[in-house]
Amino acid sequence: MKRSALTALAGRDPTISVELIALTGRELQRVRDRVLLLAKTAQERVAGFLLEMAAGATGDVVKLPMSRRDIADYLGLTLETVSRTFLSLKGAAAIECRLHAA
């Protein structure tokens, strides 16, 4: 859809306009969070990722949707750094890790 057509539609329909503003706000927040991620330590990045995953979970168990390698790529870290950080958080009793077969 062309931007001009979307802008015209939003001008005619207040509901569409409100939804577009909300969507834009969420996207800007996501980009802002991603940029700020680069200024954080590895532990802050991993902990933030785990908190983000926990926000959508029910109960005490958070099933991670990706492998440690994928998490490392997503966070801009090495696999080794992510693994060390998980071990550090586990050692501090901040998290408990359980492995499950796929």
CATH number, position 78: 1.10.10.10
Q: pLDDT tens-digit profile of 27-54?
A: 998 888 777 767 789 999 999 899 988 9
Between CA 100 and CA 77 the distance in angstroms is 24
Looking at the 3D structure of the chain, how many domains does it have? 2
Which pLDDT score, from 0 to 100, does residue 43 have?
92
Residue 97: alpha-carbon gap to chain centroid: 19
Length of the chain: 102
pLDDT at 102 over 60: no
Which pLDDT score, from 0 to 100, does residue 63 have?
87
pLDDT at 69 over 80: yes
Which structural domain, as residue segments, surrounds residue 23? Answer: 1-39
Rounded to two decimals, the pTM is 0.60
Do 31 and 3 belong to one domain? yes
